[in-house]
Structure formats: C-alpha cells, structure tokens
Structure 1
Amino acid sequence: MEKIRSVLSSKAPDSGVEEKKVSDYESGEQNLDIVVSKSQEFDPISSNMIKEIIEDDYAAVTVEDDSPYPEVRAAVPSSDDPTMYQSTIRSWVLGMILTTIGCGMNLLFSFHAPAFSITTYVTSILAWPLGRAWAAFLPDWKIFGVSLNPGPFNIKEHTLITIMANVSFGGGAAYATDILIAQNRFYNSDFGWGFDLLAIWSTQCIGFALGGIARRVVVYPAGAIWPSNLVTATFLTNMHINENHTANGWKISRLAFFCIVFAGSFIWYWFPGYIFTALSYFAWITWIKPDNVIINQLFGCSTGLGLIPNNIALDWNQIAGYIGSPLIPPASTIATIFLSIIIIFWIIVPAIAYSNVWYAQYLPISSSDSYDRFGQSYNVSRIVDPVTLTFDLQAYKEYSPLFLSTTFAISYGLSFASILATIMHTILFHGKEIIQQVRMKEKPDVHMRLMKSYKEVPDWWYVIVFVIFFALSIVTIRVWNTEMPVWCLVIALLIAIVFLLPVAIIYAKTNIAVGLNVVTEFIIGYMLPGKPIAMMFFKTYGYITNNQAVTFAQDMKLGHYMKIAPRNVFWAQLIATIWGSLVQIAVLRWGYGAIENLCAADQKDNYTCPNGRVFFNASIIWGVIGPQRQFSQGQTYYGLLFFFIVGAFTPVINWLILKKWPNSPIKYLNWPVFFSGTGYIPPATAYNYSSYCAVGLFFGWFVKKKWFHWWTKYNYSLSAGMDIGLAWSSLIIFLTLFLTNTNFPAWWGNNVVNTMDTLGTAIRNPLGPGEYFGPSTW
C-alpha cells in the first residue's frame, strides 16, 4: 500500500483522491479494480503505475481478498451476509410455479416445428417482479412457524428460484421425452405412465447424484470458473445490488446498461426474426448469384461454408443461438474455435468435397440430413420389417447405403477425436490438480472460505440418490421389454462416470461442452446391433447422465458463487427435477390425447415432433443399420476412425512442447475445444461460428485489453441483456405469430433469402430421375 500512496502523492498531490479509497482496499472492503478506475479520473499515468504495482506486488493480496480471476471478480460479489434468508415459502412457491409453467411449455413447444424452448432467463426475470410484489402486498403470517413474508425479496431467494428453473427445464424438454416420443409415436410401442416416469426420473436424477459426488473437483476450486454462471451472477447482482462506479469514463449503472441493452435486443430481433429475415441470413454474396452452386456452397449461411467476407451475422440468434453467448468464454477458447473453423471447415472440408470423397458432389456440402444413393432423404421405413421393427438386410441391399454431407461426416470424425483428446488433455494438464483437489490440498479462494459458514451436504446423501435411481433404472429396462440387458446399463453409466471429470473440467474452464452422444451410439451399435430401443436407452444413460451431471455441477457452482447454503441447493435441485419431470410426462400424455394427428408429418398446426423424429432416425441409423455398415474397414466412412488416433496424440504434442518451452503460444491451443467446439455443425454452419468468434474476440480480447474496466463492469451485463431480450422477443413472436401462422407481408427483405443455399439445392452434380451414385455393392 505504501507504493500506491507514494504514486498518488508524487503524481497528483492535489487530485482530491480520498485516502479512504486506499485504506478501504487495504482492509479488503473495496474492489481492486475500483481503486484503479478512481485513479484514472485524475491521472492515467499514475493509474498505469498503480496497476503495475497491483499486478506485480499485490497478486497475493488479490487472491486473498477476491478471486484470482478477473472474470469472476467482474461478476461475483466477494462478500456475504450469512443472515440473509434463502429457503423461504416465497422462494419455494415461486420456484415451483415457474418450474411447472416452464416444464409444461417447453414440452409442448418441443412438439412444434420449428421447435422452441423457454430459457431460464425468461423465468428469472419474471421472478423479480413477482418476488417484489409478494414482499409488497402479502401479509406476514406464520405458517407452521415459518414467515409467509419475511421481508424484501432478496438475491439469494432469486438465485434459488433460478437454480430450480435451470435443472428442471433450462435445456428445454428432458432428453428422455425424445425417447418416449420416438417409441410411442414412431415405433407405435407404448409401455404406459409407470414406465415413462421411471425412465425420466432415473435418467435425470442419476446425473444429479454424480454431479454432487464430483463437486469437490469441479465446483469448489477457484479455477473451476463455469463462465456461463458469470452472466447469471451479473444479471442477479444487477437486479439486487447494482453497485456503481466509473469505468473508462462510463458512469451509467450496470442495471441501467442492462435495461437499455435488453430493450434494444428485444426490439431489434423483430427485424431479423420476422420483418426483415435477410438480416438474419445475411449471405449477401449469394443474393448476387442465387443460382450459382459454387457461390452458394462457399458463401452460404444455411447449407454453405460462410467464407469471409460473407460471414458477419446481424442477428444475435444466429451468433449465439447454437453455441451460446460469445461474450462468455475466454478469448483463447474463442481463438481455438476460430482456428478449427479455418483449418477444418474452410480448408479440409472444401478439399474433400471438391475431390468427390464420400460422393460429396451428389450432396449438399453441409446438411444434417441423411441421404440415399438417389440423392433423396434416407427412407428408413424401407429397411425395417414393419411387424418386428428389426433390420431387413435384404431390403437394405436392394435399397441403399446411407450417405452424409461432408460437414456431417467430418463432425463424426471430430466427435471421435474429441473423446480421446479430452481424456488425454485432462490427464496431462489437470491430473495433478485433480489429485490435489481430491486430497483437499488446494488453497481455498474467498468464495470457498465464505461458504464454510454453511453446513455441507454429506456425500452419503448423493450416494443414496444414486443407489435409489440406479435401482429404478434397472427396473425401467428389465420390467418392460427394452431389449437392453443390465450389463449394458452398467457400461453406459461407467462411460458417463469415466468422462465426468474430463468433460466437466473442460466445460468449467472454457464453456464448451464435449458431448458423448456419438461415442455412445457408436459403442452400442457394435454391442447390440439391430436393437433401436436399446440403443436409445444406452445413449441416454451414457450421454445424458453425463450431461446432467455437468449441468447440476454448474448450478452448484452458481449457488457457490451466490453463497446459497449447499443443503438448500441440494433440495432445490432434487425436488425441482422430480417435479419438473412429472409435469413433462403429464403434458406429454395430455398431448397424445388432445392434439389431433400429433407427430404426423402433415399435422395441420405443425406439431410434427421434430426432436422425436430426429431421435427416431438416429435410432435407425445407429441401432438398426449400425456403425459396422458405416465405419468398419471397407465401408464408405472407414477413414473417420483415424480421428481417434489424432485425438489421442495431439494433446501429447502440446504437452511435450510446453515441457520444453513453457511460454510457447501453443499453451492457448486447447485440443478438446478444437475438436468439440464446432460440434453444432451441422445444422449450424461456419457462418454462425465465424460471427460468434468475431464478436467474442472483439470483446474478450480487444475490448478487454484496451478498456479493461469497461469490460469488467459491463461485459456480462451486455451478454445478459442480449440473451434475455432475444429470449423474450422470440417467445412473443412464437406465441403470437408462428403458432397462428401469421406471416409478414411478402417483400424483398424476406424473399431475397430464397437462394440455393437456403433451399438446400446447392449440389454440384444433382441427379435426374432414375440416376444414382455410390458403390456397386454394399
């Protein structure tokens, strides 16, 4: 502190800077960034000197008094009031009501094409006025000794409500409902209410148990940042705390900034989302040559590659809709994804496509559909016995092998690579860290120290949950004829457990999820060929259990950041999950009876069940045709198996280089992110990802470096405002216009997007009637 005082006195003795600002920081009452920003008001030279002193000589104080990570310091308060009430009648009533509404609407919306889901931001912002109205108008009665209205609606109650929403419908309808829709509506097999409830509860709650068991490694460490939680924390603190200070000359409060961004995002999305859709599909080069195949393949935004300079989206939904907000991940993660786009999708994919590898000239260059040798969508009904629903080999040989677009095929290879890259990266770069955390050797940060004021959840609570729902999962697959033996269930759960720490650590540091959906399909396709129902359940218990564990751990970290008692988080997550699952099954069963012709391709109101249909097709491709007819030696896509080797060795190369040259720029290259960061291509395209990377690098690198205090104060408020404005605008457009089939009057701004790219007809060698391609035998 003496160094800082000497700078202040020598550089600006009459500046009027209060001695209290330095002493406040010295006592831990003032954020370090505020001290620097205050000094900027009178002398930028001394501000820079103070910053250098802080960075060089006071790093230990920073770690002690606040998080060592600037991203966390920018979003999460480093203080706590343990007396603030959390688990109140108000928080539980509002949380359960919003959970019920959110789960029901998301399940109903999942029937519709296009599918839509309510995000937890929608309910979280609804909870604020509802909570304040409760505090203002309800009497303070006692119910069984508990106050009905204990006082002002506070940030901890709001956080608990948000956590309930996150775990119950934050990712849309529960994944298990896709299995049930595929089974009930497409396979015409229905085991009833009991089966449905056990299936959804077991798949959801086993993940909850695993996330809790792993919390000491993926929740408690300071390095487990969980970037998306920082946006939620910023939104909540904006609503309830809203401390204000000048940042690079900007004096507006974070709450006011958020409200302006929210309003602007809400209004703006009506243009690209409804009035002027060309702003959303802004592939302007394809508008010049709408019927040119090469132009549409290279520069298209729907089924093309979105090459520069045709890759800047003017629609936040195109930028963040698939991947999430680009303002959240670290700049190194964004740069790694952009490098993947350049190398994989702008160099390798065109090279493969224009060399006609995998018969690419007969197909769109980027599409999530599966095709037959006639260039049409693959008709799975032609290779399945209509009575037994089993694979008909003779019909398959008479019909066609299955073909994929170039980006779709490459996406499978990247999935193979990401699995082993994740394992190797975790062992090499985080192995010691995991061991230290398991042994409780890592020094706790300020948030961990503050959380010691609350009772911990005993590990045996999570173990009991695991045992109960593991038993229910056995009942699910054996009492009803799923054709899945118990040993397959055990293998699926072992996959989820083995990959839990690697996947969670990568996500906690980069905000990029490594999915196990492809590898689980791949494994079960070889283990139990020809059993599509078993394939769907194996995939769900392997992939979704892992995904749910990561999701629950993420919300445990939100509770950790916002200082929610762990036992309150435990009960909120468990009860909201069980109740929300029940609500979704009730709406599912209601829909079967109330919606005429549900899931039919020609359903009059577009309730065609797109997610269930995709799941059904995947079950045929992987569970009936099987990977042995796609990837085994001699098959069309055999070469993709070599991606496993690539994924295993690339992290080793990084590790060896960094052992020799620790400061090499390669330390910023994360191979699991390189392989899995573009996992939504297709149906996303490089157009979406390049726009995402452009915005992310601008704010996460340029703005953060040049205007650090602006970034610290406003970055996550900007992200929250854009996301929530989009969510509310999309919801209103969907409910008031799309569901009523109300189209905007035809005009150039909507008609110009009807190019070969958006119509999916940009194919170099389209087939005529009776023509076909592919091998002579299969």
Structure 2
Amino acid sequence: MADEKADVGLSDEYEYNPPALERAEENITPADLNQHEVAQAQQELRDIVEDPLDDPNMDRGLINDAEKALHTGDVKHEVALGHMIEEDSPYQEVRAAVSNVDDPSMPVNTFRAWFLGTIAVIVVPGLNQFLYLRYPSTTVTGYCVMIFTYPMGKALAAILPKKVIRTPLGSFSFNPGPFNVKEHSLISIMALMSYQSAYAAGIPAVQRFTLGLPDSEYGFGYGVLLILSTQLLGLSFASLCRRFLVWPASMIWPNNLPKAVLLNALHGVSTSQGTVYSGISRFKVFWILFAVLFFYQFFPTYIFTMLSIGNWFCVAAPNNVILNQMLGTQSGLGLLPFTFDWTVISAFVYPLATPWWSLANTLFGFIIFFMIVCPAVYYSNTWNGKYLPMFSTRSWDRFGQHYDVTNVVDQLPGGGLVFNAEKYNNYSLLYLPSALTISYMLSFAAVTGVLVHVGLFHGKSLYRQLRADPMSSTDIHNRLMSKYREAPYLWYGALFLISFAMGVGAVEGYDTGLNAGHFILAIVVGVVFLVPVGIVMALANQEVGLNMISELIIGFMNPGHPIGMMIFKTTMYMITYQGIQFIQDQKLAHYMKVPPRSVFLAQVYATAVGGVVQLAVQTWAFSNIDGICTDDQIDKFNCAQYTVFGTASIIWGLIGPAKTFSAGRHYSKLMWAFLWGALSPIPIWLLARKYPKSFWRNVNMPVIFTSTGNIPPATGVNYLAPILIGFFTQYVWKRRSPMSWSKYNYIISAALDASSAIAVVFIFFTLQYPKGPNADFLESGWWGNLAWQNTADANASPLIQLADGQAFAGTPIQLGQTA
C-alpha cells in the first residue's frame, strides 16, 4: 500500500472517509458494476483528478482517493465514490450545511411569506437608513430578520384561517400548513437584498450638503431613478452568470453556509453529514450560544469597551507613538489583537465561514504588505508619511491637517462648486497616509490580477460551462432544482431595459456632468468584472472592490464633474457588488430549493421597495432633523459616511486623479501596480501546474491583494483576530474532528453573528440613543471606557507632529506640480 501511495503521490494526511462513502460502498450490488455505471463513475472521478487547480475547496482527500481508485482499478470503490458524489455534494462544507433532499410540494409563495417579507423590506431598510445618518451607528442585519420572522411565521401559521379559497385564477389558502423552511428562506432573501443602505442614496445627500445644490433642481424622482437603476442593473445581468456562479457545485459561496444551517436548524431539517455526529442538537446549540452572547455583548459594547477596542498595551504607554502605531487597534497595525468583541472580530472577515486556504492568503497579504511594506514606507518617510497618521481614511495637506477642499474650489452663485487652479497651486498637493497608499496600490493590482488569475486557473472550466448544459451535471442540488422552471431570459432583459432607461433618464434629464456614453461605459466595465469577481467571492469569500478603479476611470476621462463621478462610480461598482449580492442569494435559494422564478420576483420587489423606502426616510430626515449633516448635530446625525463620500467626489471628481497619479506626479509610481498585478498570477499558475499537489494550487493573488482592502478603516485587529480563530476552527478542528466540525461549526457562526447583531441594536435603542450623545456606562471617569481614548492610537498621532503653520513640503507651484 505504501508503494502505491508513493506511485501516485498520495499522503496519509489527506484521507477521505465520510459516512456517505461507507454507506455507498456497503450498498454496491453486482448490478451496479455494469459497464455504463463504471464508465460514468470513472468520468466523474477524472473530472475531479485531472484539473484540480481551479477548485481550491475540493477535498484533497477526495482527490487522492479518486486518483488512487483510478490508478489501482478498484471498480467497486470507483462506483461507490461516483454514487456518493451523485447522492450529495463532494464538498464537506456543503454536506454539513445543506440538505440533499427536497419536497417540491412544500408551499413557497404564500401569503405569510410575502406579508412578512413586505414588513422586512419596509421596516428594516427604513430603520437602517435612519441609523446610517448617525455616527457611530449600528445595523439591523439579515440574521436579525431571520430570527424575528421565525416566531412571527409560526404565529401566523397558528392564527390564520386554513380555509381554501377558490377563485377563477385558482385556489389558495392564507394558511397552507406549518411555517416551512422555504417560506423562511424567501423572506430572508428579501431582507438580505434590501437591508443595506443603497449606495446611490449618498448622491442626493452630497449634492445638498457638500456641493450646496438646491433640492428643487433635482427632487425626489431623481433619487428614485438613481437608486433603482443602480440597484437593479446588477440583477438584470444575473441570468448571464447563473451557469458560471450558481449551478456549478464548485461555487460553494461560503458565506451562505451559516445562513443555510440556521434556516435548516430552526425548521428541523437534517443534512447528510451535519447531523451524523452524536451530541446536543444544532437547535439547542444555537439558542444556548445566542443567549450567552446576547448578555455578554453588553460588556464590550457598553459596560467595558476596552474589551472591544483591545489596545491594552497602548494604554500602558499612551504617548509612545511608535508602540501605538505597532499595537494600536484604532490607527495602528494591531499586531497583538486582544479584542473580545465578536462584532470587531467578524467585521471584515468571517472566520467560521471562510475556508482556511483563503484565510491563509489573507494572512500572507497582511504580513507582506502591512507588517513589512507599510512600516518600511512610513518610517523611511516615503511620500512624507511620517507627518501623517499611519492609518487613516482621510486625505491630508502639507500642513499635516485634513485636506480642506474649500481651499481649492469656488462656490457658484446658484449652487455647486468649481475647481480653482490658482487656489490649488498656492495651497497644497494631496497627501495620503501610508496604509491608505498601500491599500490603493493593492486595489490597482487586484483589478488586473483577478482577470488574469481567473483566465489562467478557471478559463477551461468557464469554457466547458459555456458550451455544456450545467443542469445535466450529476450535482445533487442541480438535479433537485431541475424540477423548477428557471426565470426566463426575457424577464432579465426587460429588467435591464427598464433599469437602463431610468439610469439614462437620471443622467441626461438632470445636470449631472455625465452623458449616456459614460453611463454605458460604467455598465460595460462592471459587467466585464462580474464573473471574475464572482468566482473569487464564491470560492474564497473575498470580494475584489471596483470603487477605486471606477474613480480613476471617470476622474481621468471627465474631470471637474463631482456628480458625474459619483454616478459613474456607483453604477460601475454596484453592477458588480449588487450583482454579486443577487447571485449569492440565488445560490442560497439554490441550496434551500426555492424556485428561481419566486426568487427573481422577490429580489426585484425587495430591491425596489427597499430602495424607495430608504430614499423616503432620508428625505424626511433631511427636512425634519435640526442641524442634520453638521459636525455639531446634537444627536450625532452628522452623516459621517456621506461626508467621506462627498470629499471623495471633490478630490476625484472635481480636482481629478490626474493631479495625483499621472506621470511625474506625487503618487504616479502606484500605477505600476496594474502591471505587476496582472503579471503576478502567471508564475503561481506555472508552479501550480508543475506541482499540482503542492500549496501553490491554493495561492490566490487576487485574494492576497484584495482581502485586506478594508484597511483603512480596518486595522490589524480586524484581520489577525479572525484569522487566529479561523486557524483553530477551519484547520485544526476540521482536520482532527471532521464530524463534530460538520455539525457545529456553521451553527456556531450563525449564533455568534445573529446574537451580537441583535444585542448591539438592542443596546443602542434602549441604553445609548435615549440618553443622547456620548452616553456610556459609568461615563464619568470609568477607566474601562475611557482609558483607550487617551492614547496616541485613538488620536491617530503622526510620528512627527508639526507646529501650527509649519509645513513639510512646498506648494504645488514650489514643487513644480501645478494644476
């Protein structure tokens, strides 16, 4: 046996023996060993063995077992493996979370589902939009909706009349039976599509409060056109992506798995691998953890906020700037991430859902670019970094102060701003903190890197999927979903035409500084990236953001038009981001066996209603909250998120990126990142092809570039803490006890995410918001809530503090970089 393993490169470290395989081999009969069955099984195994580079989530034990069976000619084992793959997913993660059976008679489009879904898409988006205007804020998440609609659905099933009503169009009942998992899934999908603030809602806000344009010139209809067009365009292209991103079994979409486990656990649905392990049920584990964390969350959120912030060593030496920059969690690297707040740990990385290989790539990227490159850039004073905070989302001037855009623009008599080159030439170049500079560089590299990586590693499989009928595959979930009719292409085409018409109406019907050609370009570029970015997200749980490249494109093409920049950026970014959200939820529906036509209607309905509700709430708030969107607003409705968006519109739209990134300018060298980003996947691919069983098959350059893309405002604590947890759960626990991991990992993830989100919302509305601004537990002198604030980390102190009026560089005229 050892010789056989040596011949085919097998390893004892990767054995494959799930319960389903043992059952499949026991049930093999002589009739199963006919020529057709054997040939089909061998083809399935060859598909797994021959090209493993495009599927880093495929179980290496399964690859080894399939290769060994083919190599040794063990026909019975080949057929057993083939049957197991046909009866359930080959992915341990999916077998743990998703049921491999379906009941097509289970009602989905019920009165209960649409009634609760309608409540969700009105209340949750409206409430979140209201909270979005405040800083610090909180969010009612999709998990909150899943939890609250569960007892509501049970209650409706108990009280609604069960009488069947017959009409000329057919029969229906308000209460067709117990509240079921498919109804709950449909409601959850509606909530997931609408709970986040619509990106385009920021455009009217910036026009009013940053650019000083009168509302009467644009109006409510303008905002509706922007929101609906940018939100729905992504969905209109989802039909083109389903065969690549939904139907293939390899597109597992890790972030869906805790949601699927939670829905199944609440409704008592078992999964083939997730319920084999004996012990306490998932249902009990969820509610026990939910209760414990709910009460615990009061400590890091309200009673003892040092547990959340975690800059313990900075408190010991609050004025040591270098120590604060290395260990700080607010404006530092956060190298010792002692936080005990799940909302901080899971803010940007989902450690119990993201595969370990993806977390390892994230760790590598953080070490190389933020533990090595960023400090080297900062302490060598490259780009005058020492005079600025190491970590900050703001842009700065030569005096070490926030870049004051009022110093480079003129206010027009009727409202609006215009760039003043003379003022700019006598004021300052724009300077970026070192971490933000590195983040821009990685963003540029990720954009080109994702196209080359997907072309090299996934080109063959994309070509096969384009030519083949994906629904004819042996994947169990495809076979089960083949019973339901797909949403016709005509529906998606009609949605595109309507969305496109609304977008052109907003662009051409109002003074935006953008034309239909620019709008079409934004759509085309967004669509080009939709599948490549979607593949990385579906495999690695990491998204390649396009917001920076969108600003560059329109900023170079059409400088001097901040509104046009915002619309172009929003359209291009949301084509990809919103499109991926639609597709991710369609995969959740695929897992939960919700008919595609019902999902399409629910997504359109939720997006349209939620978007209009958000704009209406925002419009009401602007008219009824005194001092809104000002720094001294008494209840902190200061529109901090929109302030950042507005500043970006001026810097990249009005002033333009050419003054910062074009040849010979201060940050022109960052543009080389586009080239080395495109080249970097090539040697990785060559090494992976040469050594297909080595770690090179799991090296993913787009993930390395983009996974730390939230730095800043994120710091090391938001990456190192979840990666440490992910190492113990996704690597150690999964390998040492795969059955217990299968049963509990994802339900623990769902419990932590749901409980912390609901607790934070509860604390906000019951303890913080009613008491007014700055309300905190024992706020007068309690060390646990105040000590972390009095540090160089919390104050974002630079290494070199300039005196008033002192500058670290000359004016653009003096530096020879005039506008």
Normalising by structure 1, report the TM-score: 0.91
* Count of residues in correspondence between the two structures: 736
Q: Deviations over 1:167-217 (max 9, x none)?
A: 112xx2111111121112222322001111111111111111112331111
Q: Match of 2:522, as an amino acid? A: A
Q: CA deviation at 1:242?
A: 4.9
Match of 1:164 in 2: 190
- Counterpart Cα distance in 2 of 1:520 and 1:23: 51
Whether the aligned pair in 1 keeps the contact of 2:399 and 2:802 (CA below 8 Å) is yes
Normalising by structure 2, report the TM-score: 0.87
Q: Match of 2:606, as an amino acid? A: A
- Counterpart Cα distance in 2 of 1:122 and 1:758: 33
Q: CA deviation at 1:278?
A: 0.9
Structure 1 residue corresponding to 2:101, chosen from 67, 72, 79: 79
Q: CA deviation at 1:634?
A: 2.0
Match of 1:564 in 2: 594
Question: Mean Cα displacement is larger for which, 740-749 or 254-263?
Answer: 740-749
Match of 2:765 in 1: 735
Q: Deviations over 1:246-304 (max 9, x none)?
A: 98975000111111111122122111111111111212221221110111111111111
- Counterpart Cα distance in 2 of 1:762 and 1:566: 53
- Counterpart Cα distance in 2 of 1:424 and 1:50: 28
Q: Deviations over 1:500-531 (max 9, x none)?
A: 11011110111101110000001111000111
Alignment of 1:502-651 (within 5 A): 502-651=532-681
Q: CA deviation at 1:625?
A: 1.8
- Counterpart Cα distance in 1 of 2:419 and 2:156: 58
User: For 2:594, what is the secondary structure of its paired residue?
Assistant: coil
Match of 1:468 in 2: 498
- Counterpart Cα distance in 2 of 1:246 and 1:463: 40
Gaps of 5+ in 2: 1-18, 30-60, 70-76
Aligned in 2, Cα 1:346/1:53: closer, same or farther, shift over 3 Å? closer
Alignment of 1:246-325 (within 5 A): 251-307=279-335, 310-321=336-347, 323-325=348-350
Q: CA deviation at 1:621?
A: 1.1
Q: Does 1:340 align with 2:365?
A: yes
- Counterpart Cα distance in 1 of 2:510 and 2:533: 32
Q: Deviations over 1:404-444 (max 9, x none)?
A: 11001110000000000000011111111111112125534
Match of 2:198 in 1: 174
Match of 2:220 in 1: 193
- Counterpart Cα distance in 1 of 2:377 and 2:464: 45
Q: Match of 1:224, as an amino acid? A: M
User: For 1:385, what is the secondary structure of its paired residue?
Assistant: strand
Structure 2 residue corresponding to 1:771, chosen from 790, 795, 806: 806
- Counterpart Cα distance in 1 of 2:725 and 2:120: 33
Aligned in 2, Cα 1:584/1:763: closer, same or farther, shift over 3 Å? same
Q: Does 1:679 align with 2:701?
A: no
Structure 2 residue corresponding to 1:423, chosen from 434, 447, 451: 451
Q: Deviations over 1:575-633 (max 9, x none)?
A: 11111112112112211222112111111111111111111011011012211111112
Q: Does 1:386 align with 2:411?
A: yes
User: For 2:255, what is the secondary structure of its paired residue?
Assistant: helix
Match of 1:217 in 2: 244
Whether the aligned pair in 2 keeps the contact of 1:286 and 1:755 (CA below 8 Å) is no
Q: Deviations over 1:637-694 (max 9, x none)?
A: 1111111111101111111112222223221110000000001100000121111111
How many percent identity over aligned positions? 40
- Counterpart Cα distance in 1 of 2:24 and 2:224: 59
Q: Deviations over 1:98-118 (max 9, x none)?
A: 110001101111111113221
Whether the aligned pair in 1 keeps the contact of 2:96 and 2:274 (CA below 8 Å) is no
- Counterpart Cα distance in 1 of 2:266 and 2:63: 30
Match of 1:410 in 2: 438
Match of 2:145 in 1: 123
Q: CA deviation at 1:371?
A: 1.0
Whether the aligned pair in 1 keeps the contact of 2:194 and 2:610 (CA below 8 Å) is yes
- Counterpart Cα distance in 1 of 2:648 and 2:488: 40
Aligned in 2, Cα 1:224/1:22: closer, same or farther, shift over 3 Å? closer
Q: Match of 2:242, as an amino acid? A: R
Question: Mean Cα displacement is larger for which, 583-592 or 546-555?
Answer: 583-592
Q: Deviations over 1:294-336 (max 9, x none)?
A: 11111111111112xx223211111111x14211111000000
Match of 1:719 in 2: 749
Q: Match of 1:402, as an amino acid? A: L
Q: CA deviation at 1:52?
A: 10
Q: CA deviation at 1:59?
A: 2.9
Aligned in 2, Cα 1:454/1:657: closer, same or farther, shift over 3 Å? same
Q: Does 1:440 align with 2:440?
A: no
Match of 2:73 in 1: none
User: For 1:404, what is the secondary structure of its paired residue?
Assistant: coil
- Counterpart Cα distance in 1 of 2:747 and 2:658: 49
Match of 1:8 in 2: none
Whether the aligned pair in 2 keeps the contact of 1:304 and 1:757 (CA below 8 Å) is no
Q: Does 1:204 align with 2:204?
A: no
Whether the aligned pair in 1 keeps the contact of 2:339 and 2:345 (CA below 8 Å) is yes
Gaps of 5+ in 1: 1-17, 29-48
Q: Match of 2:198, as an amino acid? A: A
Structure 2 residue corresponding to 1:106, chosen from 100, 125, 128: 128
Structure 1 residue corresponding to 2:402, chosen from 377, 380, 383: 377
Q: CA deviation at 1:139?
A: 1.4
Aligned in 2, Cα 1:183/1:27: closer, same or farther, shift over 3 Å? farther
- Counterpart Cα distance in 1 of 2:764 and 2:360: 34
Whether the aligned pair in 2 keeps the contact of 1:122 and 1:724 (CA below 8 Å) is yes
- Counterpart Cα distance in 1 of 2:790 and 2:387: 18
Match of 2:375 in 1: 350
Whether the aligned pair in 2 keeps the contact of 1:286 and 1:299 (CA below 8 Å) is yes
- Counterpart Cα distance in 2 of 1:195 and 1:704: 51
Aligned in 2, Cα 1:175/1:246: closer, same or farther, shift over 3 Å? closer
Alignment of 1:661-672 (within 5 A): 661-672=691-702
- Counterpart Cα distance in 2 of 1:246 and 1:85: 25
